[in-house]
Structure 1
Amino acid sequence: MTAVTPVNRLIVQGIDLYYEHYRNPGKQTLVCIHGFLSSAFSFRKLIPLLRDHYEIIAVDLPPFGQSEKSQTFLYTYSNLARLIIGLLEQLQIKEAALVGHSMGGQISLSAALQKPELFTKVVLLCSSGYLQRSHPTITFGTHLPYFHLYVKRWLSKSGVLKNLHNVVYDKSLIDDEMIDGYGKPFTDGQIFKAMTRLIRHREGDLPSEALKKMEKPALLIWGNEDRVVPVEIGKRLHQDLPDSVLYSLEKTGHLVPEERPEFVSEQILEFVR
């Protein structure tokens, strides 16, 4: 029997936020935060391995997945982190561990720095790191009336299948369910205007000085064949984060929650415990 996904929506700081809430009263809470061009769907293999041990919340960050594609929201990492904090406050969750993949790793770090009393530990799965803000020329271009059509054309040209080939090492993992799951959110045309705002507003990743102030234990898991965020970024984060451990996996690409869910879940169980 196929498990039913527990779909929930809340208005958080004026944004209609989609999230999945796997309730497990009395257990520690894990908050799963996806990466760029992704959604809570990217944790579909990890959640079943963890849901008996934790209460799990997997969020669709706006403008991705099924969350609102607002044309007024300021899409900075710090604001997205505040959405996560606001969601947990509305749900009256007092303490949680963060699990962030790719861009979600930076948002997890930002949330932990903004409200350290709310978060216990941070798990970074091929987290982005040290990425600078978009070049001023690109930022200026986002103000042009039809820039969103350029974004749409760029994504259409690369296509879901090509993007998936870029983020996994074992191409045999890519099936119709995966293609549909990662491609479906982009059938809503409003996402391209919202992504234009994200490109415009996104600040650079946290600098070394900020990372070195992180007091929370951090677990880093990387794919050695990651072509999106190379393992060298993971090694640098490991050096900057005062209390961290790094695992790098052979024959694994960027999409570690999909490619190595068993290993990732085992390490999370050991680390969060």
Structure 2
Amino acid sequence: MQRFFTEYEQATFSYLKGGSGKEVLVCLHGFGEEAAKFAFLEKHLGDAFTIYALDFPWHGETKWHKTLTFPTKGMMLLLEQMIDDYKNKKIHLLCYSMGGRVGLSLLERIPQQIETATFLAPDGLKVNFWYWLATQTGAGNSLFRFTMQYPQWFAWMVDVLKRAGWINISVAKFVHAYIDNKKMRDDLYRIWTTMRKFRPHLQQVKQQIIKHRIPVHLLFGEYDRVILPAYGFRLQKGAEPFVRVTVLKSGHQLLKEKNAAIIVQALTAATLK
């Protein structure tokens, strides 16, 4: 895949483009990852799709020089800048983890532009209280910033909740992986705060899927303790003709070469509907 750059206000966004197919596939990566994570799919999908994979702010080769806000309209403008003849084409979405929250927001905002959507362990299907507090309220964001600078009290609280059985061990380990490392704490604050405007309203997302008859395929890991398959079945309820849910014998890391066949199958099956 070849790397390109495009400007959005004071930021320089990096994206990869590959394949030569007539269908357009937009790939959106997860937290702490980058567009290159999708590169292995070019050999599987390059004949059917032209693939665009974007680096989000604070990820990959994107240079973010703006304030800590990336608006949804900015994402829509980037699609126009990246994709040749965008206004006359529909796009297919392939979204992993945090990229799922962005993809769901696009389904809500520009459903007429979307042909199909495939989500791998997508964030955004459930409103997490702590994420909402840290990113959607001024007081919560101030507390979030303080905690990322002085994390000891929060680490103690997580351990207390784990011992009390209020959170499971996997979640506690996931939290400690971030708060015990300064760089990861800094990244967490910047990324969560910058991406906070992507907050899909799931009832509206479902309505748009039904109204525009958009095939949606949700893939989850059976052993994922953060993004649960139950969230996908909740979105599917009432939209069964258009929303399909598949649960794999896996954890959260679904965007891997070993899952190429099931990802390709999900994309091509939706495309042929």
By the TM > 0.5 criterion, same fold?
A: yes
Residues 110, 239 of structure 1: alpha-carbon distance in 2 compared, 3 angstrom cutoff: same
Residue 63 of structure 2 corresponds to residue 65 of structure 1: no
Q: What is the Cα-based RMSD across aligned positions, in Å?
A: 3.3
Identify the match of residue 45 of structure 1 among 23, 40, 43.
40
What CA distance in whole angstroms lies between the structure 2 residues aligned with 1:149 and 1:240? 44
Counterpart in the other structure of 1:19: 15
Counterpart in the other structure of 1:239: 237
Residues 227, 195 of structure 1: alpha-carbon distance in 2 compared, 3 angstrom cutoff: same
CA contact (8 A) 1:130 1:205 kept: no
Structure 1 position 80, deviation (Å):
5.5
Counterpart in the other structure of 1:194: 190
CA contact (8 A) 1:98 1:123 kept: yes
Q: How does 1:152-231 map to 2 (within 5 A)?
A: 194-195=190-191, 197-198=193-194, 201-202=196-197, 204-214=199-209, 215=212, 216-231=214-229
Structure 1 position 56, deviation (Å):
0.4
CA contact (8 A) 1:103 1:127 kept: yes
Residues 203, 22 of structure 1: alpha-carbon distance in 2 compared, 3 angstrom cutoff: closer
1:132-167 residue CA offsets vs partner (Å, 9 max, x unmatched): 4521443123566xx76569xx9xxxxxxx99x96x
Aligned to 1:17, the other structure's residue is in SS state strand
Aligned to 1:10, the other structure's residue is in SS state strand
What CA distance in whole angstroms lies between the structure 2 residues aligned with 1:8 and 1:189? 29
Aligned to 1:121, the other structure's residue is in SS state strand
Counterpart in the other structure of 1:82: 76
What CA distance in whole angstroms lies between the structure 1 residues aligned with 2:17 and 2:208? 31
Identify the match of residue 143 of structure 2 among 129, 141, 144.
141
1:89-131 residue CA offsets vs partner (Å, 9 max, x unmatched): 6x32322111111121221122233223322111111112122
Identity level (%): 19
Counterpart in the other structure of 1:182: none
CA contact (8 A) 1:149 1:192 kept: no
What CA distance in whole angstroms lies between the structure 1 residues aligned with 2:225 and 2:77? 29
Aligned to 1:134, the other structure's residue is in SS state helix
Counterpart in the other structure of 1:172: none
Counterpart in the other structure of 1:252: 250
What CA distance in whole angstroms lies between the structure 2 residues aligned with 1:260 and 1:73? 34
Structure 1 position 6, deviation (Å):
0.7
Normalization by structure 2: what TM-score? 0.71
Structure 1 position 86, deviation (Å):
3.5
Normalization by structure 1: what TM-score? 0.71
Q: How does 1:90-169 map to 2 (within 5 A)?
A: 91-93=84-86, 94-128=89-123, 129-132=125-128, 133-135=131-133, 136=137, 137-141=139-143, 149=149
CA contact (8 A) 2:144 2:189 kept: no
- The one-letter amino acid of 1:10's match is T
Residues 38, 131 of structure 1: alpha-carbon distance in 2 compared, 3 angstrom cutoff: farther
CA contact (8 A) 1:81 1:110 kept: no
What CA distance in whole angstroms lies between the structure 2 residues aligned with 1:87 and 1:189? 32
Question: Which residues of structure 1 form unaligned runs of 5+?
Answer: 155-161, 167-185
What CA distance in whole angstroms lies between the structure 2 residues aligned with 1:267 and 1:255? 17
CA contact (8 A) 2:101 2:200 kept: yes
- The one-letter amino acid of 1:82's match is M
